[in-house]
Structure 1
Amino acid sequence: MNQLSPGLTMVALAVFVLLMIGMVLKSRTTADNLKSYAVGSLSFSPLMVALALASSLTSAATFIINPGFISLYGMGAYLAFGVVMPLAIFIALVFLMKRFRKYGVNVGSLSIADWVGKRFDSSFLQKLFGALSILLIAFIVLICVGITKVISKAIDVQELYVLIGLVIVVFTYIMFGGANSLVYTNSAQAVVMVIVAGILLYSGAHTIFSGGGEDLFSQLKGIDPQLVEPFNKTSPLFRDFFEVVVCNAVIGIAIVCQPHILTKSLMLKKDSEVNRFLLYSILLLILFFSVVFVGFYARAYFPDLMFEGELLQMDGIIPAFVIARFPGYISLLLIIGLIAAGLSTLEGLIQSLPTSLTNDLFLPLTGKDSEHSSAMKINRVITVCIAVVVVFLSYQQLVSPNLSVAIFAQNGVYAFFSAAFVPVFFGIFTKTKNKIIPTVGTLTALLVYYSVYYLELTPYMQDVSPKNPAIASALSLMCSFAVASVIFFYDRIAAGKKVVSKPQTLGSN
């Protein structure tokens, strides 16, 4: 095993962070207002925005956390996170992004909550989704835990100190940057991620078809036959077709409803650039989502999941694999890439979450708008408060995770986009102005999600730990969509009857 120098790693990390800060300072706009901070004021090429979107969609979850699921549970986890969910995301991007942009550009939306409120002319919905955006803190926690695991193992420093330093540095430079800065930093991070994805995937390619009974899947079958089965009946998350395929297909479509995803389309200045942007995005995402396959390599490398005499936690499998498997200089590059993968989404969430809380909750409650002079001050105070909460929650997940920080994160993020799906879907694909449809749809989604998860409804949620948030999310999405559809068609039928029953005006004889 090649030892990676902690000192050299710290120097490399410092240089990387300084480059990110330099990009932020160079691209920062002089207009210190919330709109410029939220959606930017510069013109970006389709490729740059595609790099930013691809890096935002594939974070530490894709490069660090999800491969750990594959290492533990095998083919079922790979089909869920490497095949079904990506395909659903591609479909959703194509169908949702254009329609969202069309309305978002016309009304000048700064966030999902802002978009929903303006689309249905409902201040209640805007405030509701502004409040619900707090759930996205769970995803920030996931990324901070993933990056902390990588850095701590590489430089041999206690996780708490790494976590605090990470939060202070990243929250600070994003707080003073904004959307323009995000596109530059995300694009640079995506380029590093492309290189790292290539190295990781190539590193074990020779084992896939090596033959002689020693190929990758023969090794995995020898470790545990369940690792090569499409459904892992011994796992708590990938037991059958419904969990692996149905749930992840539904979630993949809904996941695009996150604010730091759909609002990327608003950074393009011309409609003619959208198709190229989507093509570039999907090609990049195919590469990035393929990285979860590295979980198979890691399990073959650590058949008993032991590293330096200790049993690996799921979230630590990929950081350990990178350090143990590769020469020092390659490990250093891969560590930078894994950190970049996390930062790409972390930056977007740090920028979008306080923006939504400010614009969609606090400003409306105080009777002010995004142009008010106090908007950015409020935004920065909220950002600092979120940073403190993130440190506390992340440390809890580092010390005592429930299998993985991913379960904690999914329980927040899945609830959010389950609630957001009906308003976004009906807002994009119908012309209805009926506020009851998105309101009832959202409240139904929240009620079903938390009832299924915490009351352990359905056999999937009983006598299992951890419980699968994907089950609660898929069922809540289905129920909320069904309820909203009933109201929508009843509304249409009622409107049709009114038209038919309206007395006809006859011309005079």
Structure 2
Amino acid sequence: MTDIYNIITFLSLILFISILFYLSLKSRVKENNIEVYAVGNKSFSSLSVSLSLAASLTSAATFIINPGFISLYGLSAYLAFGIVMPTAIFFALVIFIKRFRRYGMNVKSISIADWLGKRYDSKFLKLFFGFLSILLITFIVLICVGITKVISKALDVNELIVLISLVVIVFSYMMIGGANAMVYTNSIQAILMVVVALILIWSGSEYLINNDIGFFERLKSIDPQLIKPFNDKSPLFRDFFEVFICNAIVGIAIVCQPHILTKSLLIKKEEQVNRFLIYTILILILFFSVVFTGFYARLGFPDLMFNGVPLKMDGIMSAYVVQRFPIYMGILVILGLFAAGLSTLEGLIQSIPTTITNDLIVPILNKINPKNYKIIKINMALTVLVAIISIILSHQQLVSPSLSVGIFAQNGVYAFFSAAFVPVFFGIFTSTQNKWIPITASIVAVLTHFSVYYLELTPYMQNTNVKNPAIASALALIVSTTVGLIIYLIKPLKNEVVTN
């Protein structure tokens, strides 16, 4: 039965990947134009873009990695990742996207770095954020690790083989199609994710329906810490500040990522925007509910053992799927988890090399030797380099993670959007052209984030093997926003241009 399961799973994955390749070929970029590659040249429906954005925002973190945090740390982790952060993200999407889109459409921005450079007329900001976008490779690593864990366990294949195959396949079809391909593939993936999200949420219903022993009583019998709103034995969810304040701040700032805000530029008609936001939030509510499955997994593995082997946090969901579902249902769920990872992975593959190429490499090359470079070819070469780096870092996280690849990814991604928040916020909500606000605030944010994390500033970072990147990010956001406001209030420019 195991061999049949592996074979059917493998064939299902091949079929699914073949469909994605077909969509990429169908929508491939024929023009030698990086703008078309980055934001597309087609008009998509609001539902299609909503599915694409919802899929990009949730990814392997929500479907594979974060349920592991909840299995280990219980209610405190669920409040952080299932309630507080999603609510903050919904709020930020509504507030930020309309304003960003208004300016982004006017100047045809293809990345956050490009948007900031044009908004403040600053070459430094464009170069700086082109450089900082390298940090987002950590998110690619998270997704690669999550998918690799699921597929390797389902196929009973060596993790390194799965990892290399995954990176080669996905990077290849994204290089063919760019943004047009991404919306098509994300829509297919998001539909599959909707089905699988419903299956996963229902998969532990017996624990909720059975009134003989209450759901939380079952969890309490395993570990009383699992039902506490603050888990003082965890490194990440110890008190109100870590669970609520940090995740609310991070949730708002998380929207300031290039593969999130630039999705709004795929909506060509202004009247579609409200519908697009409503669809996105409804789909996201369903997707973020999947983290509740972490409770089911802990009830299924009370001692966190699978076939006599201790479970690592990143492998809890894959073990739950393999054990919980019958063969055909299990294959469907595996495809859904695969799709959840691919949805964001595609956005990052499209946005990171594009940002580095357009906002860092080409400006530097033009300074050295001004001429017409084949930008799309530079972008493709850089995409290959990012793929190689991703394989190396992902393998390292598979072999020796610090609790979870989620910590590694958060440290990089949180640093990026901590730096991006003030420049984007002031660029959207004020008319200032004062370059010192975004430049100073973004540098302060990066320095604060990494100083708090690596120099172990504050008691939260001391006497613990696993440090919480959300603490570093929240403090960086607070400090940099304060700095930005002070400069804005004491040194306004005389000639301010309204961005509306």
| Inter-partner Cα distance in structure 2 for 1:160 and 1:401 | 15
Residue 310 of structure 1 corresponds to 309
Residue 120 of structure 1 corresponds to 120
| Inter-partner Cα distance in structure 2 for 1:320 and 1:148 | 13
Question: How much has 1:197 moved relative to structure 2?
Answer: 0.2
Q: Secondary structure at the match of 2:230?
A: coil
Residue 44 of structure 2 corresponds to 44
Residue 217 of structure 1 corresponds to 216
Question: How much has 1:372 moved relative to structure 2?
Answer: 4.7
Contact 2:139 2:409 in 1 (8 A): yes
| Inter-partner Cα distance in structure 2 for 1:5 and 1:84 | 38
Question: How much has 1:469 moved relative to structure 2?
Answer: 0.3
- Unmatched segments (≥5 aa) in structure 2: 496-500
Contact 1:2 1:328 in 2 (8 A): no
Whether 2:453 is the aligned partner of 1:453: answer yes
Question: How much has 1:204 moved relative to structure 2?
Answer: 1.1
Contact 1:120 1:434 in 2 (8 A): yes
**Partner deviation per Cα, 1:466-503 (whole Å, 9 max, x = no partner):** 100000000000000000000001124x859xxxxxxx
Whether 2:57 is the aligned partner of 1:57: answer yes
| Inter-partner Cα distance in structure 1 for 2:126 and 2:466 | 33
Give me the TM-score of the superposition, normalised by structure 2. 0.97
| Inter-partner Cα distance in structure 2 for 1:394 and 1:195 | 28
One-letter identity of the residue aligned with 2:149 = K
| Inter-partner Cα distance in structure 2 for 1:178 and 1:242 | 40
Distance 1:303 1:373, change over 3 A: same
**Partner deviation per Cα, 1:116-147 (whole Å, 9 max, x = no partner):** 00000000000000000000000000000000
One-letter identity of the residue aligned with 1:148 = T
Matches within 5 A, 1:26-175: 26-175=26-175
Contact 1:38 1:110 in 2 (8 A): yes
Question: How much has 1:209 moved relative to structure 2?
Answer: 4.2
| Inter-partner Cα distance in structure 2 for 1:366 and 1:447 | 27
One-letter identity of the residue aligned with 1:273 = Q
Contact 2:418 2:476 in 1 (8 A): yes
Structure 1 segments of 4+ aligned residues over 3 angstroms from their partners:
1-4
Contact 2:29 2:176 in 1 (8 A): no
Residue 357 of structure 1 corresponds to 356
Question: How much has 1:3 moved relative to structure 2?
Answer: 8.0
Question: How much has 1:188 moved relative to structure 2?
Answer: 0.3
Contact 1:4 1:332 in 2 (8 A): no
One-letter identity of the residue aligned with 2:332 = L
Residue 340 of structure 1 corresponds to 339
Question: How much has 1:291 moved relative to structure 2?
Answer: 0.2
Distance 1:398 1:210, change over 3 A: same
Contact 2:186 2:343 in 1 (8 A): yes
**Partner deviation per Cα, 1:179-226 (whole Å, 9 max, x = no partner):** 0000000000000000000000011123124212x2321110000000
Q: Secondary structure at the match of 1:231?
A: coil
Q: Secondary structure at the match of 2:177?
A: coil
Contact 1:4 1:328 in 2 (8 A): no
Q: Secondary structure at the match of 1:59?
A: helix
Question: How much has 1:33 moved relative to structure 2?
Answer: 1.0
Contact 1:4 1:154 in 2 (8 A): no
Q: Which moved more, 1:172-181 or 1:279-288?
A: 172-181
- Unmatched segments (≥5 aa) in structure 1: 497-509
Contact 1:2 1:326 in 2 (8 A): no
Q: Secondary structure at the match of 1:178?
A: helix
Whether 2:285 is the aligned partner of 1:293: answer no
One-letter identity of the residue aligned with 1:208 = L
| Inter-partner Cα distance in structure 1 for 2:181 and 2:204 | 36
| Inter-partner Cα distance in structure 2 for 1:37 and 1:150 | 30
Aligned pair count reads 494
Residue 263 of structure 1 corresponds to 262
Question: How much has 1:32 moved relative to structure 2?
Answer: 2.4
Contact 1:3 1:328 in 2 (8 A): no
One-letter identity of the residue aligned with 1:349 = L
Distance 1:296 1:2, change over 3 A: farther
Whether 2:202 is the aligned partner of 1:202: answer yes
One-letter identity of the residue aligned with 1:276 = R
Q: Secondary structure at the match of 1:269?
A: coil
| Inter-partner Cα distance in structure 1 for 2:139 and 2:30 | 30
Contact 1:208 1:217 in 2 (8 A): no
Q: Secondary structure at the match of 1:42?
A: coil
Contact 1:133 1:416 in 2 (8 A): yes
Distance 1:159 1:102, change over 3 A: same
Distance 1:259 1:456, change over 3 A: same
